[in-house]
Each structure stands twice: as structure tokens, then as C-alpha cells.
Chains A and B, each alone.
Chain A
Amino acid sequence: MAADPRKKPQPARGANKARSPWREQAESYFTHHRKVAEDSARRLWRNPVASLMTWTVMGVALALPVALLLLLTSLQGVSAGWESSARVTAYIELTVPLERARVLSSDIASDGRVAGVELVDRDQALEEFRASSGLEDALDYLEDNPLPHTLLITPEEGARSTEGVEGLVRFIEGMEGVERVQVDLGWLQRLNAMTDLLARAVWALAILLAAAVVLVIGNTVRLSIESRRDEILVAKLVGGTDSFVRRPFLYTGAWFGLGGGIVALILLQLSLWWLSGPIERLAGLYRSDFSLDGLQFDGALALIIVAMLLGWLGAWVAVKRHLDDMEPGDIAGGG
């Protein structure tokens, strides 16, 4: 309001600085925000142990669901990879001769939903079994070959959905001479169902932990409000608006969030590094390209932003509960 309107706006120094009133207003508004933000951060630094404890609590609470979500994402990637290699196995009745099995095979191959059919005749199957099971001697005691002719059917790309495969299975089961149809997808569906269930559990956990974070920050900010009671009362007394009085505490909450987010990232990286060796070995044993991926840059950024929002929200809860009804009435005393 004391800006001199006669001078042109220019980056001059000292009392000669003159700008349009709204610019001056905006500038002092941002200056104030920066000042409050810095002051809130400094207050946290001044109590490093207490702040670090809050950050750690928050970091653990954030890292846990994020780690589980990462694991889940990796698992889903694996099952998606296997889904494309889904195969249907049809066992032909033992009494059916090889020629009839060939006919069945070509019948199935001519179906639009089928990409390819491989016939494994019973002698061939026995040889393979003998070779891979190590039960040669035991098999020699059998009089007859107990294995049936088998058709290995690869569904067409478009028929690889759960419904498509089910329809194909029904069709093959309906054919004469087919004893039983088995889908490799069974266990995959179970895995999918399990990861779906797990995903829900993880999200529920994430929501609970987020609520816990909000409450922890809320409580910490409440203490900080109590310790700055005099200042709040004076600010309200000299005409500080509610948002002015809230501001430092909202910043405090956001800084708690930032620290918590960083701690969470560190914890995630550490545990990932610690687990990476065993996971590689395990994946190698399963001949899988499974890998547990850490957070990318955008993921890390999102984690930190979410953490800051949660901290801000916690501060907001505390401020709503404890600050707004603080009135300077009791300052004036009785009389």
C-alpha cells in the first residue's frame, strides 16, 4: 500500500522499489508462504530425533503397502506371460486306436479356435515318461501301456480368454472317444484369483495404513499446536484469518509427509537390494524371467506426493479439531 505509483516497475532495491499493488500483494503473499514453509521446516530440524521418529513411522507405514503392490505387479506380469502359453490337453479313451485319434486330431485342428494340435501317441508318451520319470524298472513290470493317446491343443490367439478356452473345452469334451480334457489354465486361474484377492487385501491394508499415517501426523501436529498456543491466540487477536493461522501447521504436515516419503523410498530400495539375490535364484530355478522391479522415477515421485498429501491431510484434521475453536477470549481475562 505504500508502493509509489509514479515509478516504473523495475528490479530496483530498497525503498524505491515500486510495483503495482496487486503484484506487491501477490509478492508478499508468496514471501509469506516461503517464510512459513521455511520456518516449519526449521522447527522440524530443531527436534531431529522426534522428527526422525515420525518420519520413520510414516516411512514404514508407506513402504509396506508399496512393497506389496510392487510384488503384486510383478506376479501379475508373470501370470500374464504364462496365459499366452495356455494349452488344452485331451486324453483319448484307451480303447480308441491310433487311426481314430488321428481323425480326432484333424477334426479339432480344423476348428477355428485352434491354432495347432499335436498328437502324442501312447508309445511315444510312454517313452517320454520312462525317460523323464526315472521309473524305467517299475514300468517294465507293467503288462500294458497305461497311457492313452494324447492331443496337445494350442488355442488360437483370440480364444485364449477364460470363456474362449472354456468353450473349446466343452466342444472337445463333447467329441466321441475323448475321455477327459485338462486345461493348464486351471492353476493359472487359481493364481489369478489369488493375486486378485491379494490385491484387495493389499489395498485394504494400504488404506488402513494411510489412515494410520493421517492420525499419527494429526497427533504430532496437535502437540505442535498446543506448544504454539500463545502465538496462535495473538495471531487471532491481531486479525489473523483462519487460513493464516493454519498455514504453518499445514506446512508442518507436508514436511512430515516429505520426510516419511523419503524414508519409505530408502526402505524400499534397501529391501529390494536385500531380496534381489534370492529372487533371481528362485526365478532361475523356475526358469522364469520373474524380477521384482523397484519404483521408477515417476513412481517415486508419486509416492512422495502422496506422502505429502497424507501429511497435509493429517495436519488438516488436527487443525480442524483444535485450532478453529481456539479463541482469544480467554486472553483478556475476567473482570
Chain B
Amino acid sequence: MIEFRQVTKRYDSDHTALRQVNFGLERGELAFLTGHSGAGKSTLLKLIMVMERPSAGEVVVGGQVLNRLPRRQIPYIRRHIGVVFQNHQLLFDRTVFDNVAMPLEVMGASPRDTGRRVRAALDKVGLLQKEKMNPMQLSGGEQQRVGIARAVVNKPPVLLADEPTGNLDPALSADIMNLFGQFSQVGVTVLIATHDIALINEMGRRTLKLDHGRLVAGGTSVIGGGVSGR
């Protein structure tokens, strides 16, 4: 589903964020992305989101090589990738429902369809009763779950999360991770960037470890046709 082939990202001559990164993630695979800060975790996620383009190598998502993707095609790729942020990026000028509905609105879904799918997503994260509230009235954990509902509302095949549990206590973090586990079980490829070593150990999943832009653990699996275990 996601494949990096010899990907290098250089911002300028003396700052190289990623060096020849190779790895592949299968459909339905859940993996962690870890490393010290500045190791290149965010850069890697941005490459998948086509917020950045690689300096060398190829990024492939869903069989599509993103390097040569024309600019106006980018939105259509993003519709297939759900993203969860540490600071969740919710909009406080609208209700929880409207926040979650944004990816559907962008796609031009009908209001009827939107209602059904937003409620399904909110139900999934256990916030169905709070659809009419403003996200500001919610707790940190609830806000994060609204962010997750928004990321999965249009059933994307890929889900990325950048420090999704950064501000949450361990119990809430476990909840959130549980959710991610459930998504991977229905075939969503999940990649979670996190510092939280304890959480990673607890989950016992594949872990991609970055060190100064090099992938030092958990690399290459899809390349050459090999199928990674899960």
C-alpha cells in the first residue's frame, strides 16, 4: 500500500532529512514510526501526503508513484489518506459533526450520505451523542477521537498519525491505539509516528526506526515482491 524506494529528502545542501529510505507497508498492516526528534518522522509522513516531494527515489501509495503526480492531482491522493495530528487540527467555528464531515464535503458527497457516514464514524469513536457540540467543549481525548473520526470518515485505505497520543494519559492512549488496531483489522494500512516507546512495546507491532534520516530498523518488506508478516 505504501512503498518507499531509495527515498532521499534534502531540504538544502547541509540538511538531509531522509537518506535512502526503503520500506513497504502491506494493506491492513499497522506499523509504528519512531526516532529522536528531527530524525525525519514528519518528513516521511509529509512525503506520503505529498506535502513534500522526494529529492531522490520513489514514493508509491496505492500503486501510484507520487513523484510525477501533477499538482492538481494531489487532492485526489489525499482523499485516500486519513491523517491524525497531535494537535488534532479541529475547527472551533463549527460543530463536531461539521468537523468530521469535511472530507466528505470536499468530495461532494450528498447530504444524506454525509449524515450517515459521519454518524457511523462518530459511533466508531464513541462520540455519537456529541455531534452537535463544539469541539472546544470536549476533553483532549475526545478531541483526538473527533480527529480520528474525521480521518476515517471517508474510509481511506491509508491512515497516518503524527504523535496521536502526545497529550493524552496512558489509559486514553491505549484507547486510541485500540481504535487504530481495529482499523488495521478491516484492511486499513496504519502508520503511527510516535515517541511513546512504552506504547510501542505494549502493542508489539512492526516498528520503523529512523536515526538522522536513515531507517535503522523495520525496513524493507514489500520490495522484491516479498510479503511482510503481520
Q: A residues touching B (Cβ–Cβ < 8 Å)?
A: 1-2, 14-15, 17, 24-25, 27-29, 31-32, 230-231, 233-242, 244, 327-329, 331-335
Contact for A329 among B39, B46, B108, B193, CB less than 8 A: B46
Closest residue of chain B to A335, judged by CB? B42
Residues of A within 8 A of B83 (CB): 237-238
Contact call B107/A239, Cβ cutoff below 8 A: yes
Report how far A327 CA is from B51 CA in the complex, Å: 7
CB contacts (< 8 Å) of B107 on chain A: these are 239
B86 close to A (CB within 8 Å): yes
Binding site for A on B (CB under 8 A): 37-39, 41-42, 45-46, 49, 51-52, 72, 75-80, 83, 85-87, 89, 91, 93, 102-103, 105-113, 116, 150, 162-163, 193
Q: Which residues of B contact A27 (CB under 8 A)?
A: 110
List the count of A-B residue pairs having beta carbons below 8 Å apart: 94
- Report how far A242 CA is from B49 CA in the complex, Å: 16
Q: Among B77, B78, B93, which residue has its beta carbon within 8 angstroms of that of A231? A: B93
Given A2-B113, A335-B38, A236:B89 Cβ within 8 A: no
Residues of B within 8 A of A15 (CB): 112, 116
Least CB distance, A302 to chain B, in whole angstroms? 33
Partner of B89, one of A233, A239, A240: A233
Q: B52 touching A329 by the CB < 8 A rule? A: yes
Identify the closest chain A residue to B37 (Cβ): A335
Interface centre among A28, A231, A235, A237, by most chain B C-beta atoms within 10 angstroms, is: A237
Tell me, rounded to whole Å, the shortest Cβ–Cβ distance linking A26 to chain B.
10
What are the 7 A-B residue pairs with the smallest beta carbon separation, nearest first? A239-B79, A239-B78, A238-B103, A329-B51, A240-B106, A28-B110, A335-B42
Q: Is there an interface contact between B78 and A32, defined as CB atoms closer than 8 Å? A: no
Q: B89 near A234 (CB under 8 angstroms)?
A: yes
Interface centre among B45, B51, B79, B163 (most CB of A within 10 A): B51
Q: In the complex, are the beta carbons of B113 and A328 less than 8 A apart?
A: no
Q: Tell me the minimal C-beta distance from A315 to chain B in angstroms.
A: 20
Q: Is the CB of B105 within 8 A of A32?
A: yes
The contact sample of 7 A-B pairs, CB cut-off 8 A, is A28-B110, A28-B111, A234-B89, A239-B76, A332-B42, A332-B46, A335-B38
- B72 touching A241, Cβ below 8 Å: yes
Chain A nearest CB: distance from B198 CB in Å? 19
Among B46, B106, B110, which residue has its beta carbon within 8 angstroms of that of A238? B106
Is there an interface contact between B108 and A328, defined as CB atoms closer than 8 Å?
A: no
B89 with A237: CB separation less than 8 A: yes
How far does the alpha carbon of A28 sit from the alpha carbon of B106 in the complex, in Å? 11
A241 in contact with B75 given A17-B112, A31-B110, A327-B51 (CB within 8 Å): yes
Q: Note all chain A residues with C-beta closer than 8 A to B52.
A: 329
Question: Counting chain B CB atoms within 10 Å of each CB, which of A28, A235, A238, A329 scores highest?
Answer: A238
For the complex formed, measure the closest distance between the CB of B92 and the CB atoms of chain A, giving whole angstroms.
9
A91 to B75, CA, bound (A): 84
Q: Contact check, B150 vs A238: say whether CB atoms are below 8 A apart.
A: yes
Q: Chain A: which residue is nearest B36 at the CB level?
A: A335
> In the complex, what distance in Å separates the CA atom of A211 from the CA atom of B132?
44
> Which residue of A has the minimal Cβ distance to B193?
A335
Interchain nearest-CB distance for B197 vs A (Å): 15
Knowing A2-B113, A327-B51, A329-B46 are in contact, say whether A334-B106 is a contact too (CB < 8 A): no
A334-B38, A335-B41 known; A28 vs B109 contact (CB < 8 Å): yes
Looking at the complex, which one of B39, B49, B86 makes contact with A333 (CB distance below 8 Å)?
Answer: B86
Q: Are B108 and A28 in contact (CB under 8 A)?
A: yes
Instruction: Give the shortest distance, in Å, between B28 (CB) and chain A (any CB).
Output: 22
